[in-house]
Amino acid sequence: MKQAIFLCGFMGAGKSSVGRALAKELGWPLLDTDALIERENGPIPQIFAEKGEPYFRCLETELARRLAQTEEAVISTGGGFVLSQGVQDSLKDSLVIYLDVPFEACWQRIKNSDRPLVRSNSKEALREIYRKRSEIYRSVSRFSVSNTGTLNQTVAEILDKCR
pLDDT tens-digit map of 103-138: 999 999 999 988 878 988 999 999 999 999 999 999
Model confidence at 1, in pLDDT bands (50, 70, 90)?
low
pLDDT at 148 over 80: no
**Domain boundaries of the chain, sorted by first residue:** 5-157
Q: Which contacts (CB < 8 Å, 24+ apart) does range 23-30 have?
A: 23/73, 23/74, 25/155, 25/159, 26/1, 26/72, 26/74, 26/159, 28/72, 28/73, 28/74, 29/72, 29/73, 29/74, 30/73, 30/74, 30/75, 30/76
Q: What is the pLDDT of residues 152-162, one digit of tens each?
A: 999 999 999 99
Q: Which CATH superfamily is domain 5-157 in?
A: P-loop containing nucleotide triphosphate hydrolases (3.40.50.300)
For 85-95, what is each residue's pLDDT tens digit?
999 999 999 99
Give pLDDT tens digits for 30-81.
999 999 999 999 998 899 889 998 999 999 999 999 999 999 999 999 989 9
